[in-house]
Amino acid sequence: MSATNLKCRECGSLYELDPIYVCERCFGPLEVAYDHSALAQDIPELRRRIQGGPQNLWRYSDFLPLPDGPPGPSGRNSSRVGLAAGCTPLIRADRLAERLGLGEVWVKNDAANPTHSFKDRVVSVAAARARAFGFEVLACASTGNLANSVAANAAALGMESYVFIPADLEEQKILATGVYGTNLVKVRGNYDDVNRLCMELSGERNWAFVNVNLRPYYAEGSKTIAYEIGEQLGWRTPDRIVSPVASGSLFTKIGKGFADWLDLGLLEGELPTMNGAQAAGCSPVATAWAEGRDFCQPVKPNTIAKSLAIGNPADGPYALELAKSSGGSIDSVTDDEIRAGIRLLAETTGVFTETAGGVTVATLAKLAARGDIGRDESVVAVITGDGLKTLDAVRGSFESFEIEPTFDEFTSKVEANLVTAQ
Amino acid sequence: MSVTVKLPTQLRASAGGEGAVAVEGSTVGEALEALYVAYPELRERLSDEDGSLRRFINVYVNGDDIRFGVSSNSPKRMGQEVQILPAVAGG
């Protein structure tokens, strides 16, 4: 394992690889530190090893904090231990590009994960690490996608689980969590209230809260999105990434994934321009960006993009730093723009995304309209979750026909109306 | 007024192992100052060189983050329970 320590992002203090997440000296966030020098000895061999690995995120286990290596043998359609996340499609989206006046657009469809969101990546890593630490209970504070993933991964691994969510979450996400037999706790409050409760509980219960005491390990799973995009593009970086920002963890870890592989020489190119996407109804990071601040003022969320409704983003300052250093930005879009974004992606690519993906596509459209993206640029939009999770967002957004089963009804009620409409 | 300050596990060793400390104060600033007088080690843990709260610490009064546009010296924002938590969780 090339992971060596936990390191404070603020003051650089080093810690053992324990289930801790906060620097004891300055309260800064702890991150996994690696020594990749052994891997750097033979890059062609490393590349071959990755390509010969399983068709899921465990092919990148050299870059993940797993003391015992991947949890077990697995391939594209088989796994001896747990759900195998990752290796989701990267889809060329020419019709989307054309609609936006862009040259080369790709969609990274992370809805194609076991529980239909990118959260399976982070939970896979956190759960593997939790088992290595000897924890018996998996837990999380969630805006929905993480809830699905923790409940499912705990079931797959035979662990008990506790999932804490805001009580007003989308019904689809609640049902797709409870079905796995988790202890589902609906908290009367918003995500930040849920998170505060879980932080308190993590000090009182000996559980693996994937995004509290296991957070340094959990967050590493998001790097695999960057690794996959690089590998799928033929070992090169795209020019630009558009990714949603909630806590800022996914966004910053995608940047880190590219940076690490560029440093090693595994990828050609430069660090992509990083554009973060938020919903206007919960945009503490975009607001800080617009006001030129390097810190985020917390907000009370009010948006249909509930999976991004984190008013007090832990990695907000680092997301701002990355947007700035990569020449990108953090933008926000309205709920109407989010609905239009879902529709635009669906009708140009055949990918139906949840509201968070609507935020990403709407932000891509906004950047294109603003002239921020050159026609010669390759752009990857990171689609983090499935549209079936947030059906309310598309309810009433299209017409359909209901007829008797006769040819006459079809011509008189369907075709006649279509002709009129044209 | 009497206020209960709840401490996260990471700070309890600096407060004689206590998870909650009762202090007097009519603002968050006064309550924290009283806490520092009772347990001097906490001052350095919680505040930076300028004496302001460190970047990755959140303070809640009766469940609300004090950074919602109001300074920690405002008596209007005071309540019976002040909770200190690390800011780096979730997402």
- Per DSSP, the residues of A43-86 read HHHHHHHHHTS-SSGGGGGGGS--TTSSSS-B-SS-BSSS----
Please tell us whether the domain made up of B2-86 is placed in CATH 3.40.50.300: no
Quickly count: other Cβ atoms within 10 Å of residue A103's Cβ. 16
C-beta atoms of B86 and A317 within 8 A? no
The b/e string for B4-20 (b: 16+ C-beta within 10 A; e otherwise) is ebbbbbbbeebbeeeee
CA distance B73 to chain A (A): 17
User: What pLDDT does residue A274 have?
Assistant: 98
Q: Which residues of chain B have pLDDT under 50?
A: 70
Q: Is B44 on the interface with A (CB under 8 A)?
A: no
Rounded to whole angstroms, the Cα distance separating A270 from A279 reads 28
C-beta atoms of B83 and A21 within 8 A? no
Q: What is the CATH number of domain A34-83+118-218?
A: 3.40.50.1100
User: What pLDDT does residue B72 have?
Assistant: 58
Instruction: Burial-class residue A252 by CB neighbours within 10 Å (0-12, 13-18, 19+).
Output: buried
Same CATH fold assignment for domains A34-83+118-218 and A90-116+222-394:
yes
> pLDDT tens string for chain A (422 positions)?
799 999 999 999 999 999 999 998 889 999 999 999 999 999 999 999 999 999 999 999 999 999 989 999 998 889 999 999 999 999 999 999 999 999 999 999 999 999 999 999 999 999 999 999 999 999 999 999 999 999 999 999 999 999 999 999 999 999 999 999 999 999 999 999 999 999 999 989 999 999 999 999 999 999 999 999 999 999 999 999 999 999 999 999 999 999 999 999 999 999 999 999 999 999 999 999 999 999 999 999 999 999 999 999 999 999 999 999 999 999 999 999 999 999 999 999 999 999 999 999 999 999 999 999 999 999 999 999 999 999 999 999 999 999 999 999 999 999 998 865 55
User: What pLDDT does residue A118 have?
Assistant: 98
C-beta atoms of B90 and A28 within 8 A? no
Pick the CATH number of A90-116+222-394 from 3.40.50.11810, 3.40.50.1100, 3.40.190.10, 3.10.20.30: 3.40.50.1100
Using a CB-CB cut-off of 8 Å, the residues of chain A touching B8 are 22, 199-200, 203
Lookup: tokens for B75: 């008596």
Got the DSSP string for A95-126? HHHHHHT-SEEEEEETTSSTTSBTHHHHHHHH
Lookup: tokens for A150: 């923790």
C-beta atoms of A27 and B56 within 8 A? yes
User: What pLDDT does residue B91 have?
Assistant: 81
Domain ranges (residues) in chain A? 1-33, 34-83+118-218, 90-116+222-394
What CA–CA distances, in Å, run from A415 to A233, A409, A410?
43, 9, 6
Q: Which of B45, B54, B91 sits opposite A248 (nearest CB)?
A: B91
Question: Which 8-state DSSP code applies to residue A282?
Answer: B
Q: Which of A24, A202, A314 sits opposite B88 (nearest CB)?
A: A314
Residue found by looking up tokens 């983090």 in the block: A384
ipTM more than 0.90?
Answer: no
A104 φ/ψ sector (left φ>0, alpha ψ -120 to 50, else beta): beta
C-beta atoms of B88 and A211 within 8 A? no
User: What pLDDT does residue A76 have?
Assistant: 82
* Percentage of the residues of chain A whose pLDDT score is greater than 90: 95
The b/e string for B62-81 (b: 16+ C-beta within 10 A; e otherwise) is eebbbbeeeebeeeebbeee
Rounded to whole angstroms, the Cα distance separating A98 from B38 reads 66
Rounded to whole angstroms, the Cα distance separating A378 from A270 reads 12
Structural Rg of chain B based on CA atoms = 12
Q: Which of B56, B83, B89 sits opposite A195 (nearest CB)?
A: B89
Rounded to whole angstroms, the Cα distance separating A242 from A273 reads 9
Lookup: tokens for A322: 């990355």
- Predicted TM-score (pTM) of this structure: 0.95
Q: Which of B56, B67, B85 sits opposite A10 (nearest CB)?
A: B56
Q: CA angle at residue A133 from A39 to A68, to 5 degrees?
A: 30
What CA–CA distances, in Å, run from B26 to A239, B20, B39?
54, 18, 19
φ, ψ (nearest 5 deg) of residue A390: -135, 60
C-beta atoms of A196 and B60 within 8 A? yes
CA distance B82 to chain A (A): 13
Using a CB-CB cut-off of 8 Å, the residues of chain B touching A195 are 89-90
Closest residue in chain A to residue B48, using alpha carbons only: A26
Mutual orientation of helices A145-157 and A119-133 as an angle, nearest 10°?
A: 40
- The number of C-beta contacts closer than 8 angstroms across A and B is 90
pLDDT (tens digit, 9 = 90+) per residue, A143-191? 999 999 999 999 999 999 999 999 999 999 999 999 999 999 999 999 9
C-beta atoms of B89 and A315 within 8 A? no
Closest residue in chain A to residue B63, using alpha carbons only: A193
Q: CA angle at residue B27 from B21 to B28, to 5 degrees?
A: 55
Q: Is B67 on the interface with A (CB under 8 A)?
A: yes
Which residues fall within 8 angstroms of residue A214, CB to CB, at 6 or more apart? A19, A21, A126, A129, A130, A208
CA distance B88 to chain A (A): 5
Q: Is B89 on the interface with A (CB under 8 A)?
A: yes
C-beta atoms of B91 and A26 within 8 A? no
Q: Which of A141, A199, A246 sits opposite B85 (nearest CB)?
A: A199
Domain ranges (residues) in chain B? 2-86
Using a CB-CB cut-off of 8 Å, the residues of chain A touching B55 are 10, 27-28, 295, 317
Rounded to whole angstroms, the Cα distance separating B45 from A383 reads 40
Amino acid letter for position A199: M
Lookup: tokens for A340: 């239009």
The b/e string for A326-337 (b: 16+ C-beta within 10 A; e otherwise) is bebbbbbbebeb
Q: Are B27 and B74 in contact (CB under 8 A)?
A: yes
Using a CB-CB cut-off of 8 Å, the residues of chain B touching A212 are 89-90
